[in-house]
Each structure stands twice: as C-alpha cells, then as structure tokens.
Amino acid sequence: MLNPTRANSTLTKTSWLKRFSFTCCCFLTLSACDSTKEPTRPANNGVLTPTVQPIAIAAKTPSSYIEQGDLTAIATHNTLRILVPRWEDTGLPRAGLPSHGFRELAEGFAASQGLSVRWILSDNHTQLIEQLEKGEGDLIVAHLTQTPARETRLAFSVPISSAHEQIIGPAEQRFSQPAHLANKHIAVGAGSSFVASLSHYVTQHPDLNLTISEHPNGDPEFYVDDIQSGRIDATVMDNNVAESLSQLRDDFSVGLTITPTRPIAWAVRKNNPQLLAKLNTYLTEARITHNRDSRFTGDFNAIKARKTLRMITRNSPASYFVWRGELMGYEYQLMKKFAERQGLRLEVEVAPPGTSMIDMLKNGQGDVIAASSTITDAREAQGIAYSRHYHLIHEQLITHTNAPPLDSLDALNGRTLTIRPDHAFWSTASALLNEGYKFTLKAADLTQTSTDLITAVALGELDATISDSHLVSIEHKFNETLQPGLMLEPERSLGWAVRDNNPELLTALNRYIDLHYRGTFFNVTYNKYFRNEKRIDKYQGQRLTDSSQLSPFDNLIKPLAEQYHFDWRLLVAQMYQESKFNPQAESFAGALGLFQVMPRTAKELEVPLPFTPESGIYAGIRYLDWARDRFEPTLPLEERLWFTLAAYNAGFGHVNDARRLARQQGLDGDRWFGHVEHAMLMLSKRQFYTKARFGYVRGTEPVNYVRQIRNRYYAYLKL
C-alpha cells in the first residue's frame, strides 16, 4: 500500500511494495516435495533411459565484471555492456514511442565496433547511473533527459529526441493551473528527471502543500493505473511518452508543463571520450536527430539519405506483432530484409483502427504500406502505386471441425455465413446468393476483424465465414478446431504500396521481389507463418506408470529445480509441453531446445548456442525464474506460477495487458483461471488489443498452454 509522507517542500522517498525472496521448493501444499528416496524405476515402464549426466549447476546471476576504462579497455572484453531501463524494453514498437528502435540501433553501434552486446536491465534511472559510474556497464541506452545535474556525472551523446515534462492526472480532472495541485500527491519513478523537476516546482510553489514520492517502477502505465485506483493524484511524463500512451488509453489527462523542452540522449562515463566520439559519429551517420520532420514524401534517394525506411502496417498476426519479446510478422520480416539490403533502419508506423493507411502514406507519415494489401484498381486510383505481387491468395470458406466441411459451393446450402458488410467478402457472398445457393448471409459487427471472425468460427460461436487464404493458414496452424474449405476464384495478388510519385522506391521494391520471390528467403519466411506442419511427437505416446522417472532428463531437471525453487515435476510438465522431450525441437519462430528458448533470450542469459540438453534446460529454467521475478511477490504462490507460465509462453507484457483488461472488465487481475485467462482471450479482438500496450496476441495459445501444463502436472502428482 502507498504510504507517502506529506511535506511542504521536501522530497520524500517511499516504498510501496516490500520485496521478499521466493524460497519455497514447491508451490502448492498438495505438491510438497517428498524427502524420501524415490523408488527404483521398473525397466519396462515405457520411459526412455537417460543418456545424459548431470551438469554442474551454474550461478543464478550471470558473470559480471568491473570496467571503468574507455573504448580500448572495453574492447578487451569483446563486449559492450548496455544498461537499459526494465520498462523501456517493453511494448509493441509504434510510431512516436521514444524508445522505438533503440535496441537495434544500439546493437548496430556495438557491431560497428566489433563488439557483442550484453544487456543489463535496471529498475530505475538512479540504478542506471550508479551502475555506469561503478563500471558495471558501459553505455546507457534510454529515454534519458539531459539535465544540468546529470551533466556533472555523465557524458551525453548527441540528442536523439527532445521533450518537456507535463503533469498527468485523472481524465475527469485536468491539472491545468498550479492551484489545481494543492494538497495533491504526485508519484514518479525513482531517479528520474521528474524528481528534480518537481523538487524545483515545490520551491516555486511552497503554498501548494504537495506530497511527492518516488517508486522504483518507472513504467508510465503503472502510474496511470495508480491514478485510476486513487492511490495517487498525479504523476509526471515527458510529452512524447504521454502522447504515445494516449493512443492506447483515454483514462488520463495532460495538464501543466513544468519544464522547458530539453534534449533526450544516451550516456557514457565522463572519462570515456573515445567511446562518446564513436557513438556520436554512429548516431550522426544513422541520421538519428531530434528535429527530423515526421512528414516526409521524398523518393528512394532521399530515403537513403535519411537512412530510415518507414513501413506502414497493422498490428495483426499476418503483418506485425510481438511474441516472447520478439518482433514478428510476415510483412515485417520481408520489409526488414529489404531495408537491411539497402543499408536502412526499418521503422514501423502502426496504423490506428479506422485510420486509412493510404492517407498516412500520401501525407508522408510513412514510405511504404506493407500490410497484406490486395492490389486493386480502386486503390491505385487514390494516388498510390503497387509493387509487383509478392504473394497470391484466394478467398476461402471455413467452418468448425464439428460441422460438415465446406468443400464445395453446394455445401453452402442451409449454412450461415457471417461477414462484415463493408468487406469485399460480402460482395462475394452476395454474388453466390444471386447464383442460387441457399444459405443465410449474416452481417458481422463492424468492430470485428477477419481474425475475430475466424476465431469465433474456431470456438464454435459462428457456423462459417469467408476469409483470405493466408489468414486461414495462420489460424489453422494454431487451432485444430478450424476446418478450411473451398478456395474461391479468382486468385488475388498482394503487393506493397508507395506514393505514385516515388518511382525510385517502387523500382527498388520490384527488384527485391524479382530477386527473392519463390527463392529460399521468401519460401522459408512463408513456411514459418503459413505452413501447417504436423509435429512429430516422439515421446507423446509413452505412458507413465510411476513418478520415479518422468522424462529422459530428470537427473538434469532436479538439481536446477531445487536451486531455482520450482517443483521439478512442474518443470517436466512444461518441458513436455514445449518440446515433447525433443532436444532438437525448433518452433516456427525459431525457439530452440527442450524449453524452446528464443536465441535472443539465450544470448541475454549468456547461454551459448547451439543448445545441448543441459544448456537448453538451464536456459529455460533461468528464463522461467526471470519471468517469475517480474510479478509482485505478494501474489498467491499458485497464481504467481500460472502468471509466470503464461508470461513464458506469450511474454510478460501480454500478461500485464490481460491483467489490466481483466480489472477493467470487473474480473480479478490477480487470478489466472476464470479471470485473467478470459481477458487474454479478449486480446485477440481488435476492440481490445488496439488499446493494449503490447497489442495483438493469439490468446488461445497462453490459455491452452497454462491449462495443459497444469493438467499434466496434476497427473504427475497423482502418480
């Protein structure tokens, strides 16, 4: 609970949550660890004999070292240690977010110096600066305001942005005048520039009797949530952060500006001029400048001079989304490859719902539309030009597996098709009715996307619908209850759109498609998202008869489970869910090993690739432990574990979005089953995911993932 100390002009630090260690070896009373010796496993119980030996248990904390020298000394470690705030490395990158592209930009700088990257997460700006000064990191990559006080401790890079600070309050009360703040409680992140700004504001307005408190959490949404709950009255945000957050939430107001506009930059130690010079050269060459015009309509030569390509798209399972912390999407990966080949940074401009991507393109808010856009004469007449096609699709009938298949037009007779009346599919269905087919055509709500309708069919809520074949392929890949049907003629072409006065960019895109279309890269990328490969579950059919050995890797799991305070049987249940005990398993997204850890995550955990069974298990448990630490320790033990598993599958951010949505829907944000899991399912619907920080998530995945692991774990306990 918040317990601020009220003061007239004194800045007071408070702590809202007491952290404590999670030291239980088993998370439920019914799963208490048995200290007795386990029985000897019968030779014929159907479980493979282990072929690996236990490994030495690695330290929980990754190796670290102190280095306060300049670039020459840093290079002796072959690593650039980059300090980042925990909250800024989250969220679906959208246009205007201040940390948009920071990760790739920083990795590019490290690569330019021949160094690998080690990411070090810090809880607040105070910790960031202290770690840098102590030599525990080399570079702060953050939305860091350049203030006189910080300039005495840090050397700042060239500005990458600029911002002024504003008071944020509840939606129903805008703090637009100093008097509005009288007797209010304002909370901000510990060590942020807001602390000094408010302290200065208090000296100017001592009669306001402000209460100011600091909290280690720097996530701006945390403070908006606390304003909504009444725990605090207001907070402070940079104007660009508030503007970005206003795209997702309408439950806060922007009030007084309390500082002038100031530079935003990265920082190194004061005694690191060599590192600073190299960083400034890199940022300048990358054209990362704080005054760049966001409205730009230049052709390809001008784009290359800016060194940035802006892709306009939708947050959707076909185009652009975040999964396990990785940016993904068919359109995103194809366009990213194009940008890399041209030596450009790719920025993503996510079109808000109801916004015309063509208008955004023509207004100069982006350079190319890449969003599974069908090439039509009507669209080209609006002042855009399409590339040659990079993908061919059909309209396709779909229904539930429990219903008769729609494998012919005659099979439509007596059925009900639900379609949005403003969609081209409605015209297709109307034409079929005119041809004499006897089915019911029902209008869907205009807020429902094609993905929403496909999901409703898969859940048995709708009889049937029509959708694009590539979307059907994506959803069928993850949903066994979906039954694809007849593909309708004619075939249609997907293309990328540019302004009709940008022939250079159009030529470059066509050359890229000519070079790669139906080649290895396009085929691999296509198969990754659309091909429905049936997994070979090598161990799935084996029946368990006792708990003496649950997997071929029990002797690796048990010591690590003890070290990280997990029930080993829960970990085995999760490992089965991830890989079916196959050490060579690889997911569509590139997750690897027995616990399906993403390569980037392995790198951040400092676990080398390729995985061995030992290192794959170690990486998975380390990541599960990290995910658990993201949740407040005040949660009930079992709920914290369910949230941890959901975060392991879908990412912490999506789970946090679901908890927030659950509370908005009158559900319990601290309970998974029956509450947050329902909200997670809602985040696959546009009306909800467009207001979520992490955007779209296929909610059935984490929901089924947690439920299946729980059921298998309980089955292990019954043994």
Strands (E), 57-149: 79-85, 116-122, 139-145
Q: Dihedrals φ, ψ of 235, to 5°? A: -145, -175
**Residue-wise DSSP of 444-487:** PPTT--HHHHHHHHHTTSSSEEEEEHHHHHHHHHH-TTEEEEEE
Express each pLDDT in 575-611 by its tens digit: 999 999 999 999 888 899 999 999 988 887 889 999 9
657, pLDDT greater than 90: yes
Provide the percentage of residues in the chain whose pLDDT is more than 90: 62
> What's the rounded mean pLDDT across residues 423-435?
93
Express each pLDDT in 113-161 by its tens digit: 999 998 887 878 888 999 999 999 999 998 899 999 999 999 999 998 8
Compare 575 and 719 and report the one with higher pLDDT: 575
406, pLDDT greater than 90: yes
Q: What residue ranges define each of the domains in the chain, with the CATH number in brackets? A: 71-162+265-285 (3.40.190.10), 165-259 (3.40.190.10), 293-534 (3.40.190.10), 554-718 (1.10.530.10)
pLDDT at 52: 39
Query: Could you give the C-alpha distances from 215 to 7, 220, 487, 552, in angstroms and in order?
Result: 17, 11, 56, 46
Q: Any residues with CB less than 8 A from the CB of 250 and at least 6 apart, and which?
A: 171
pLDDT at 37: 33
> What's the rounded mean pLDDT across residues 22-30?
37
Residue among 373, 90, 25 nearest 245 (CA): 90
Express each pLDDT in 514-524 by its tens digit: 999 888 889 88
Strands 235-238 and 308-313: unpaired
> What's the rounded mean pLDDT across residues 474-500?
93
Query: Could you give the C-alpha distances from 592 to 551, 572, 577, 584, in angstroms and in order?
Result: 18, 16, 13, 7
> What's the rounded mean pLDDT across residues 290-299?
72
Q: Which residues are catalytic?
A: 578
Output the CA torsion 550→553→559→564 (10° steps): -80
The answer to whether 96 touches 240, Cβ cutoff 8 Å, is: yes
pTM: 0.73
Express each pLDDT in 259-285 by its tens digit: 999 999 999 999 999 999 999 999 888
The gap between the terminal CA atoms of the chain, to the nearest Å, is 42
pLDDT at 681: 93
Please tell me whether residue 165 adopts helix, strand or coil conformation: strand
State the pLDDT confidence band at 708, using cuts at 50, 70 and 90.
very high
Compare 170 and 64 and report the one with higher pLDDT: 170
For Cα atoms 351, 354, 360, give the angle at the middle one, nearest 5 degrees.
Answer: 45
pLDDT at 77: 95
pLDDT at 187: 95
pLDDT at 533: 56
State the pLDDT confidence band at 55, using cuts at 50, 70 and 90.
very low
What amino acid occupies position 589? Answer: A
| Cα distance between residue 581 and residue 458, in whole Å | 29
DSSP structural state of residue 543: P
Highest mean pLDDT among 102-116, 170-184, 685-699: 170-184
Provide the percentage of residues in the chain whose pLDDT is more than 70: 85
Highest mean pLDDT among 48-52, 507-511, 545-549: 507-511
State the pLDDT confidence band at 547, using cuts at 50, 70 and 90.
low
Q: What is the mean pLDDT of the chain?
A: 85
Express each pLDDT in 300-359 by its tens digit: 999 998 888 999 999 888 899 887 767 889 999 999 999 999 989 888 888 887 789 999
Residue among 44, 61, 291, 323 nearest 158 (CA): 291
80, pLDDT greater than 90: yes
State the pLDDT confidence band at 1, using cuts at 50, 70 and 90.
very low
| Cα distance between residue 692 and residue 245, in whole Å | 10
675, pLDDT greater than 50: yes
The answer to whether 595 touches 578, Cβ cutoff 8 Å, is: yes
639, pLDDT greater than 90: yes
